[in-house]
């Protein structure tokens, strides 16, 4: 439980932490670590009681005794102690970015998935008569991992469920999705915490000497305007340009790495005074060459991406960053996620992080 309390305390948007329990020892530990306690009634404390009933009781108790009504409820289960330091904040940002009413954290169910029925076995993700390579399977299946739920209070009251309305998803690494279900799982969790210390610390922005930006969906809002002559134009953010100028003056190199080979990419980069590398069907080899020529280490490189063609670079650099509206796979692989969407100030937000670290 304390791991979840401390994770919530380190999350800026969370301004109140409440533990619901009928157990005096649990209540004492919760208070010791800075959480409020709501005494759970006996009828909601048995083995058949649902989490939703306890959540509803807390909401109604706080409303009746304090006239307190939260904007959002973040539900953290104590059986899921493995979270990155920014997972909760990023989950909240994902809900807001997608205009959702509720959100659940999940891990991908990968590979060749089957469903068992009473009379048969049915493939769910592929055609077994035309067996693809594992990486070619397109079907996405997600499993709730029980770590993070975020929802608006009306969702719980209307549906008596933590999920309802427009539902969003926050992807998490499969190892971070393991839960404690039986006593033996405690030893596994403790071992994972020893083996994965990097998951508990934020990336070191102060070491970044090179910032690499994807173009479409990061420096733009991913839209394109095409006129009758086939010429293209994109929407960019002036605040991003100011942030880039300030960061360059602080001594950080910046370049754009784009799959597209388009004059609009070169024109925008020229205006900003940053290097432009475009027409890269496979971005990682190009990035590796760029970093090698500058005699840098991947830990000194930050990469900001939003889509599948950024994933290899995101996984290679030391400071991987996703914009708020990036696809789930990119957000999951990144160690930081902006609160702003691509083309709407996400680059400015990243430059402010790096400037603050340098100060």
The pLDDT tens digits of the residues spanning 189-237 come to: 888 776 654 444 567 899 999 999 999 999 998 887 887 777 888 888 8
Query: Could you tell me which residue, 320 or 224, shows the higher pLDDT?
Result: 320
Mean pLDDT of the residues in the chain: 89
The SS3 assignment for 283 reads: helix
Determine contact, residues 74/17, Cβ cutoff 8 Å: no
213 and 192 fall within a common domain: no
Q: Is residue 60 situated within a structural domain?
A: no
Answer with the one of 172, 199, 226 that is the final residue of a domain: 199
The SS3 assignment for 146 reads: strand
Structure token pair of residue 314: 């995101």
pTM: 0.60
85 and 157 fall within a common domain: yes
Q: Is residue 80 situated within a structural domain?
A: yes
Determine contact, residues 182/99, Cβ cutoff 8 Å: no
Is the model's pLDDT at 5 over the cut of 50?
Answer: yes
Query: Could you tell me which residue, 261 or 69, shows the higher pLDDT?
Result: 69
219 and 266 fall within a common domain: yes
Q: Is residue 61 situated within a structural domain?
A: no
Looking at the chain, how many residues does it have? 359
Is the model's pLDDT at 346 over the cut of 80?
Answer: yes
Answer with the one of 180, 199, 218 that is the final residue of a domain: 199
Q: Is residue 261 situated within a structural domain?
A: yes
Determine contact, residues 297/288, Cβ cutoff 8 Å: no
CA distance linking residue 301 with residue 307, whole number of Å = 18
pLDDT score, position 228: 79
252 and 270 fall within a common domain: yes
282 and 298 fall within a common domain: yes
CA distance linking residue 52 with residue 281, whole number of Å = 48
172 and 209 fall within a common domain: no
If one counts the domains in the chain, the total is 2
Q: Is residue 51 situated within a structural domain?
A: no
306 and 173 fall within a common domain: no
**Residues in CB range of 9: below 8 A, 6 or more apart:** 17, 34
**Residues in CB range of 45: below 8 A, 6 or more apart:** 22
247 and 178 fall within a common domain: no
Instruction: Provide mean pLDDT across the span 142-159.
Output: 96
241 and 318 fall within a common domain: yes
Report residue 99's pLDDT band, with 50, 70 and 90 as the boundaries. Answer: very high
pLDDT score, position 202: 63
228 and 350 fall within a common domain: yes
Q: Is residue 37 situated within a structural domain?
A: no
Domain with residue 304: its CATH number is 3.40.50.1000
187 and 234 fall within a common domain: no
Q: Is residue 237 situated within a structural domain?
A: yes
Could you count the other beta carbons within 10 Å of the beta carbon of residue 228?
Answer: 5
CA distance linking residue 326 with residue 156, whole number of Å = 28
The rounded percent of the chain whose pLDDT value lies above 90 is 57
Helices in the chain by DSSP H: which ranges? 2-9, 24-32, 51-66, 87-97, 153-159, 184-195, 238-249, 263-272, 283-293, 311-316, 328-333, 346-358
Give the containing element (helix H, strand E) for 20.
strand 18-21
CA distance linking residue 209 with residue 217, whole number of Å = 23
pLDDT score, position 198: 47
Report residue 126's pLDDT band, with 50, 70 and 90 as the boundaries. Answer: confident
Answer with the one of 199, 217, 240 that is the final residue of a domain: 199
The rounded percent of the chain whose pLDDT value lies above 70 is 97
Structure token pair of residue 95: 């809900």
Q: Is residue 169 situated within a structural domain?
A: yes
Domain with residue 179: its CATH number is 3.90.550.10
Instruction: Provide mean pLDDT across the span 73-88.
Output: 92
Tokens 């970015």, located at residue: 97
Could you count the other beta carbons within 10 Å of the beta carbon of residue 271?
Answer: 10
Instruction: For residue 80, give its domain range.
Output: 2-16+70-107+142-199
Handedness of CA 246, 247, 252, 256 (dihedral sign): negative
333 and 217 fall within a common domain: yes
The pLDDT tens digits of the residues spanning 237-271 come to: 888 999 999 999 999 999 999 987 888 888 889 99
């Amino acid at each position: 439980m304390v791991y979840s309390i401390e994770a919530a305390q380190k999350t800026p948007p969370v301004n109140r932490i409440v533990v619901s329990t009928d157990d005096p020892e649990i209540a004492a530990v919760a208070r010791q670590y800075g959480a409020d306690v709501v005494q759970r009634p006996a009828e909601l404390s048995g083995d058949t009681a649902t989490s939703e009933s306890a959540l509803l009781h807390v909401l109604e108790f706080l409303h009746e005794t304090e006239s307190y009504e939260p904007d959002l409820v973040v539900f953290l289960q104590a059986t899921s102690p493995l979270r990155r330091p920014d997972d909760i904040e990023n989950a909240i940002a994902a809900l807001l970015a997608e205009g959702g009413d509720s959100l659940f954290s999940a891990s991908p169910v990968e590979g060749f998935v089957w469903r068992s029925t009473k009379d048969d076995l049915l493939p769910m993700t592929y055609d077994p008569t035309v067996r693809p390579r594992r990486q070619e399977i397109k079907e996405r299946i997600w499993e709730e991992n029980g770590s993070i739920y975020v929802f608006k209070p009306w969702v719980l009251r209307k549906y008596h469920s933590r999920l309802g309305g427009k539902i969003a998803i926050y992807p998490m690494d499969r190892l971070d999705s393991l839960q404690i279900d039986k006593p033996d799982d405690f030893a596994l969790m403790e071992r994972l915490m020893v083996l994965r210390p990097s998951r508990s610390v934020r990336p070191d922005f102060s070491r970044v000497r090179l910032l690499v930006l994807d173009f479409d969906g990061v420096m733009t809002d991913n839209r394109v305007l095409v006129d009758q002559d086939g010429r293209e134009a994109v929407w960019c953010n002036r605040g991003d340009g100011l942030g880039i100028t300030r960061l360059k003056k602080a001594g950080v190199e910046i370049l754009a790495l784009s799959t597209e080979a388009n004059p609009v990419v070169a024109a925008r980069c020229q205006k900003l005074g940053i290097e432009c590398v475009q027409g890269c069907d496979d971005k990682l080899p190009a990035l590796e060459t760029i970093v090698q020529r500058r005699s840098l280490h991947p830990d000194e490189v930050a990469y900001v991406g939003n889509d599948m063609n950024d994933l290899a670079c995101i996984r290679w650099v030391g400071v991987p960053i996703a914009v708020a509206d990036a696809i789930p796979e990119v957000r999951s692989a990144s160690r930081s996620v902006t609160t702003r969407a691509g083309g709407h100030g996400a680059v400015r937000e990243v430059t402010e992080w790096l400037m603050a670290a340098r100060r």
